[in-house]
Chains A and B, each alone.
Chain A
Amino acid sequence: MPLLGTLALWLAFLVGLWGAITGFVGGAQNRADLQQSARHATFALLAALATAVISLEIAIFRHDFSVAYVAGRTSRNLPTFYLWSALYSGQEGSLLFWAAVLSLFAVLAQVLTSRRYRAFLPYVAGVTSLVATFFVGVMLFAPANPFTRLPFTPLDGSGMNPQLQNPGMVFHPPMLYLGYISITIPFAFAIAALLTKKLDTEWMVAVRKWTIVSWLFLSIGLLIGMWWAYVELGWGGYWAWDPVENAALLPWLVMTAFLHSVMIQEKRGMLKKWNLALILGAWVLSIFGTFLTRSGVIASVHSFTESPVGYYFLGFLLFAVAACTVLYVTRLPLLEAEATLESILSREASFLFNNLLLIGLAFSVLWGTMFPIISEAVKGVKITYGPPTFNFVNIPLGLVLLLVTGIGPLIAWRRASPSNLKRQFAVPVTVGVFALLILLVAGMRDVGALLAFSFGAFVSGTVTQEFARGARARHRQYGEPTWLAVFQLLSRNRRRYGGYIVHIGIVLLFMGFAGMAFKTETEATLRPGETAELRGRDGHVYSFTHLGISQYNTLNRYVTAALLEVKRDGKAIGRLRTEKRQHVDALGNKTFEPSTEVGIMSGLRVDLYVVLAGLVSGTEEAVFRFTINPLVWWVWFGGFVLVIGGLIVLWPGGAPLASGPRARSQAGYAVKLEPAQ
């Protein structure tokens, strides 16, 4: 299998190279034979990389420890569930996974793209093949070949890092990769549009769904990553502004900006330069994120080991930025807007400010991530740009962005009149101010949380008003009951109303984030029978009674578990269990340092979060950390709502897409009548 895998990689490299050359040359010379060959090359690339993936999975499932990757990432007693995820749990395997998924997307782009856009497809094949070839090249030459053999075959492997043995880690990396990788398709269309000089709005329509797919996968990946950090790492939070987390957030922010500004291009034929730059930027940032993860240039808990792979990515990144810049600059004259802005008080202008904030936030996150390197390079001083600094700089920006989320939908396209603004803003502003007053009367004094909740109420007011008006209009016109009218709104205008559901998801996420301002925690040493008490900011007193320690063996680990009885205001509400796990291989040898499993009791108001620090002198007397995390449940629910909203937007069907001059004219927008030729 390792031999077959290596052969498949070499085949993929050659086929990818062929696909890239034939794609670009076939497109430039308009040669049908080369174009067809490039298309076929994407299929062959997928077949070769699928063979490599299957070869590696077979080696993993057969416990072929002669393969260094298998010996370094798995062991005989690793649960089957995690044998699957071993494929992408290390540097080499994840590169293979990346290349294979990219080749799959490349084929889907060739197969699913409408024939209307066939002029782009040779270049799309060229770009996707080139990027996939780069990844395969890194595996073969960096070297990061997942099929490298060991000089001897160990009896058992080293096992998988315990922190990766969590369901969250099975789904988080592939989702994030799917998000990162699928950005390559809109990027390939952008390059194709630049090369073919077909820079009207049509190509943008071809990639919009791909961009939503990418955004959705990145969203899911980020959310599962947050969940994993919360339940597995044990520090009681879900976002630490780690460089690798930031690297995933950057393309997400840029794509969110694109998904808003592309509406202006579709409806008004404006912002062509800006939208193109966003697509190129999102892809460059995804490669930048990969460079950060794999180079070790910035210390991160997520980083793969430091390796020469980083230099390859840096070189590729510089090449890509240079090529994109040259192409972009030379095509600028072809990217003039078809219409002009009529008023600053318009939906278009509000979307531009929304874009400004999203890109500003992305810049701020990038700046914070890179600032330690800048400081060291300029001043020779090593500094830490930690979570307190990120929060200080980015929370205000995030709050303004939340506010703008509510403002945008209230402003009319083209031009908003004062009376229209008054009518639109009255209810949402009242809701926001009312929420602020209630919270102030209730005694809340944290400025950040106050703003988050009141802005959240304002955005909710906006969305509710939009749904109510739409439903009322349908009720008047068709006599539909409210529930049917809301359903029809969602099904007939998925983009608009699905987008509003995403906004509600964002509000819920911000509510959850704001809850962390009211976190309380304490440490305690308890003997069996002893109780620790902690008052939460929800006004309740929570008590934790240590019931005892048990030790047992299971699967691939020795477990030391502490059981605690939990009471709220003296009334029992359940039991919590927190563990220390000592992982072992099939021979009983310890494979890693003992890891901690958090005990979590999740509720709508608070999460009770207990960590077993360890035992005192090997007795049942144990040290615990107790944390009360308010509103964390709403983060996960908000994420769920956001994903549902995204799926509604993505779901095929609904009202036909309005784009092009004719559609714009029918929608009441300005068009110029050209004289007949």
Chain B
Amino acid sequence: MTSDGRTVTLSDCNRRQFFAALGGVVLSFGQTVQQPDRQTGSQVYDPDRAGRSQTPVTALDNDKSVQELEKKLRCSCGCGLDVYTCRTTDFTCTYSPALHKEVIGMLGNGKTPQEVIDAFVAQYGQVALMSPPRRGFNLLGYIVPGIALVVAAGVLFLVLLRWTRQARTAEPVITTVPPDATPAELERLQRELDKLPG
């Protein structure tokens, strides 16, 4: 369409426009031929912009038992996340995919999840676990807050009991005063009370 609304056909144009249009058709034909079917995954303009290339997800990647196991193992990149969370979150990390492959490899070799965990501890130390094993010194990490709280609650209970006993044995105090009394009035009242016999 031209600006005045006419539809341009090849017969209307000059020689330069004709060859330009023909070239465009040939080029676009070439692109169509070279481009794979969009439905099967065409190449993007600049793959580098999309980060590191990924491999298709396998059934093992998605396996619940593998995920559960990897959630117990810590990624060594310093992110503080477990292997599963890191490899499915920080796609620039090179450690978690490698550790994932290690896990898959060990499971493929017939190791049980516990054996995989033991192998990781043997190789990287206890720091490789998201939770320290519940034994020895590590037990303190689990039980100290609870014990401290129970002990503190016990102490608090005893202190409160003592306070309440003290309150009962203490001299009776006057529990009400005239709500509108000023300090001067209270003083006068006290003087009058002092004058009373006994």
Q: Which residues of A contact B (CB under 8 A)?
A: 233-236, 240, 242, 299-301, 340-344, 349, 352-353, 356-357, 360, 363-364, 367-368, 371, 375, 378-379, 381-389, 392-394, 396-397, 521-525, 527-529, 548-549, 551, 558-560, 580, 582, 593-594, 596, 611, 613-623, 625, 665-666, 668-673, 675-676
Known: A352-B160, A611-B89, A619-B36. 9 other contacts (CB 8 A): A235-B88, A342-B164, A375-B141, A383-B126, A558-B46, A615-B53, A618-B53, A620-B38, A676-B190
Q: Which residue of A lies closest to B136 (CB)?
A: A379
Query: What are 22 contact pairs spanning A and B, CB under 8 A?
Result: A233-B89, A234-B90, A236-B89, A340-B163, A344-B157, A344-B161, A360-B152, A367-B144, A371-B141, A385-B141, A386-B80, A387-B130, A388-B71, A389-B130, A521-B88, A524-B57, A528-B41, A560-B51, A593-B51, A613-B54, A618-B47, A625-B88
Judging by beta carbons under 8 Å apart, are A360 and B46 in contact?
Answer: no
Interface check B146, CB cutoff 8 A: yes
B123: interface (CB < 8 Å): no
Give every chain A residue within 8 A of B36 (Cβ-Cβ): 619
Name the one of B53, B142, B148 contacting A389, with C-beta atoms under 8 angstroms.
Answer: B142
CB distance from A5 to the nearest CB of B (A): 33
Top 5 nearest A-B pairs (CB, nearest first) are: A618-B47, A364-B145, A386-B130, A621-B41, A594-B51
Residues of B within 8 A of A (CB): 36, 38-57, 61-62, 71-72, 74, 78-82, 85, 88-92, 125-132, 137-138, 140-142, 144-146, 148-149, 152-153, 156-157, 160-161, 163-164, 166-167, 170, 173-177, 179, 186-187, 190-191, 194
Say whether B92 contacts A344, CB under 8 Å. no
A673 to chain B, nearest CB (A): 5
Q: Are A611 and B88 in contact (CB under 8 A)?
A: yes
Q: In the complex, which residues of chain B have a beta carbon less than 8 angstroms from the beta carbon of A368?
A: 141, 145
Q: Cβ of A525: which chain B residues have Cβ within 8 Å of it?
A: 54, 56-57
| Residues in B neighbouring A611, C-beta threshold 8 A | 88-89
How many angstroms between the C-alpha atoms of A673 and B188 in the bound complex? 12
How distant is the Cα of A676 from the Cα of B48 in the complex, in angstroms?
A: 88
Which residue from chain B places its CB closest to the CB of A340 in the assembled complex? Answer: B167
For residue B163, give the distance in angstroms from its CB to the closest CB of chain A. 4
List of B residues within 8 angstroms of A675 by Cβ: 190, 194
Cβ-defined contact, B82 with A386, below 8 A: yes
Name the A residues within 8 Å of B146 (CB-CB).
393, 396-397
A616 touches B54 (CB 8 A): yes
CB A615 to nearest CB in B, in angstroms, measures 5
Residue pair A620, B131 in contact (C-beta under 8 Å): no
- Chain A residues closer than 8 Å to B194, beta-carbon distance: 675
Assembly CA distance A295 to B24 (angstroms): 62
Instruction: Name the CB-closest residue of A to B188.
Output: A676
**Min CB–CB distance B130 → chain A (angstroms):** 4
Q: Determine whether the beta carbon of B177 is less than 8 Å from that of A349.
A: no
Q: Which residue of A lies closest to B126 (CB)?
A: A383
Do the beta carbons of A344 and B160 come within 8 Å of each other? yes
User: By the criterion CB–CB under 8 Å, are B54 and A671 in contact?
Assistant: no
Contact of B49 among A235, A344, A360, A560 (CB under 8 A): A560
A300 touches B89 (CB 8 A): no
- CB B55 to nearest CB in A, in angstroms, measures 7
Cβ–Cβ < 8 Å partners of B140 in chain A = 371
CA distance A621 to B131 in the complex (A): 37
B38 lies within 8 A of A528 (CB): yes
Q: How far is the CA of A525 from the CA of B170 in the complex (A)?
A: 77
Chain B nearest Cβ from A16, distance in angstroms: 37
Q: Which residues of A are found within 8 Å of B129, using beta-carbon distances?
A: 383-384, 386
Residues of A within 8 Å of B142, CB to CB, are: 389, 392-393
Within the complex, the shortest CB–CB distance from B174 to chain A, in Å, comes to 5
